[in-house]
Structure 1
Amino acid sequence: MHAAAATAFDATPIGSREAWGWRGRTLSRPVATASGEGWLRLVSAPADKACGKLWEGPQEAERLMPPAVPRPRLRKRLTWTEDEHGYLAELYDEVTAPTVTTHEPILREAPDLNDAWWEGLSTALDAIATVSSDRVAVRQEYLDRAMPQYLGIPIDTTVPAWTTAHGDLHWANLTSPSLSVLDWEGWGVAPAGYDAALLYSYSLLVPDTAAEIRRQLGHILDTPAGRFAELVVITELLQTTTRGDNLGLERALRARLAYLTEG
């Protein structure tokens, strides 16, 4: 199907590099086209689920995200159904800088990121937060149910403030040394501070980087809304551990939870 998409876009795969997404639902490769090198991403889903928020996210990001948000530009897209599967092919501009982590969102060693990189990230998050959209990344109904369950404490689950978020801001979706923010499937409205809190939580195993995030993004995190966003993210990540994901983070997440709720 990836080869079929390349043919439809008059693109030729370059080399043997392949990038597989979470649980194999996407396959991406560098390609050559008449307008220059690019990146061809193919998404697969059961035919009855090949639609909706995740399907339309990158196209909507291309339409609405401001220039202050560095990201690969979407050139073309194509959707089709074959047998029991639906497919979405997207041709992006080439991004030459590698992602900070390759195979997982969790940070395990400190990256070499300069002040310009951090300033660009801070500017991007502030710009994303201003985008008006009816897309939803986190729902109040989910928080009402999940926060008491996974945090294990009585808690006011009312979100103090909502803003637009990338929704999946982790180290495998950020490039360096030049910053680009990848993967715009799930962006939408979330508790204010959600993106910064997610990146911070995925950095807990590297205390120096976690501290740098708080230094660089303190205007987001060191607020009542930012504290609440951390609890939201901890809820979500603790839930993932019950499915066998992010197990290496569980102890650090519970320690952070104790600090936020007891300190």
Structure 2
Amino acid sequence: MTPRPVDLRKEPVEAVLDRVERSLGVSLSRETVVRKRRSLGARTDRNTWVRIERRGLDRIGVQGGDGTASAEALRGIAKPAWLTGVAWRDDREPVMWRADETELLPASPVSSAVVAEDPQLPEEWWNALSTSLDGLAAQHTNRIATPDTETLTQKLVTGTIHSVFPGVDTAVTEWRPAHADFNWANITAPVFCVFDWEDWGMAPRGLDAASLWGASLAVPALADRVRSERREDLESRDGMLMTLFVAAKILGPYADPEDPRLVPARKTAEQLLQELQVD
């Protein structure tokens, strides 16, 4: 049974917030509640943050939906510490709810997922970005990344790329741990920190860098800076494939004709297709 599609920005959520308060023994500040499509967040009376996610059982797979908690074992990465959590199955739908309490962020998120103007990030921010991504890539895990809640397999990579760029050899050779939802809404500034770890796991090399590049394309100088900082990843063969993977999502059948990222995504993709020598 597939759960009904839900947008938590439009659904009544008071009962969910009440249950989380009882389970974790906290009071959630209703004035600070942040609503997203499939998650909620709020500050607590003990100066922490609680993130609540609704995820269909068909989207949990073998990982159990505990990404934020399991990420606590990661080292050398700027992220808020995980403190406690609770999960339960919805009594009416095939859905799991999970609430995780973490430290507060050291700064505000940079913007929405896709940035519209240059955030003017300091050099130490870029240094911390690379340190954290390098640190993450060196970790070990049995988890598989789930970007957009889809398990990231070779089949998914091939299908996504071929839907826009048929003929590319999409065989991935190097898999590394990745955050898998690496965009400007999940990163803070001016102090660098990355949060919302529910989808992290093994992914083709360069996924996070390519994701941030794609989220930066409306600001060409920022997209260029991302590519420059993560050049080693993005110029690897798998990094090129991940750039095409991200570009395919931007350029695919649901593309917004007004999206300012369309032209630069297409231009970069054409260059990569030549380098990858498509048959």
TM-score class, shorter-chain normalisation, is 0.7 to 0.9
CA distance in 1, matches of 2:61, 2:157: 25
* Secondary structure, counterpart of 1:183 in structure 2: coil
CA distance in 2, matches of 1:229, 1:246: 24
Is there any run of 5+ residues in structure 1 with no aligned partner, and where?
none
Compute the TM-score of the two structures, normalised by the length of structure 1. 0.86
Q: Which residue, out of 171, 176, 186, partners 2:199?
A: 186
Does structure 1 residue 121 correspond to structure 2 residue 129? yes
Percent of aligned positions that are identical: 27
Match of 2:110 in 1: 100
Does structure 1 residue 139 correspond to structure 2 residue 149? no
Give the paired residue count: 252
Compute the TM-score of the two structures, normalised by the length of structure 2. 0.82
Q: CA deviation at 1:69?
A: 0.6
- The 1:136/1:49 distance shift into structure 2, 3 A limit, reads closer
Q: Which residue, out of 238, 251, 254, partners 2:266?
A: 254
Q: CA deviation at 1:222?
A: 2.8
Match of 2:88 in 1: 80
Please tell me whether the aligned partners of residues 160 and 245 of structure 2 are also in contact (alpha carbons under 8 angstroms): no
CA distance in 2, matches of 1:234, 1:117: 25
* Secondary structure, counterpart of 1:181 in structure 2: coil
Q: CA deviation at 1:51?
A: 6.7
Match of 2:5 in 1: none
Farther-moved stretch of structure 1 (117-126 vs 250-259): 250-259
Q: Which residue, out of 32, 52, 55, partners 1:42?
A: 52
- The 1:243/1:60 distance shift into structure 2, 3 A limit, reads farther
CA distance in 2, matches of 1:15, 1:242: 35
Q: CA deviation at 1:258?
A: 1.6
CA distance in 2, matches of 1:154, 1:89: 43
Alignment of 1:1-263 (within 5 A): 1-14=16-29, 16-21=31-36, 23=37, 25-33=38-46, 37-46=47-56, 52-53=62-63, 55-63=65-73, 65-66=74-75, 68-85=76-93, 86-101=96-111, 104-137=112-145, 138-151=152-165, 153-239=166-252, 242=254, 247-262=259-274
CA distance in 2, matches of 1:169, 1:245: 24
Alpha-carbon RMSD: 2.3
Q: Which amino acid aligns with 2:236?
A: T
CA offsets, 1:163-207, max 9 Å, x none? Answer: 111111110010001111011111111111111111011111101
CA distance in 1, matches of 2:53, 2:257: 21
CA offsets, 1:211-236, max 9 Å, x none? Answer: 21122222222333322221122233
Is there any run of 5+ residues in structure 2 with no aligned partner, and where?
1-15, 146-151
- The 1:134/1:51 distance shift into structure 2, 3 A limit, reads closer
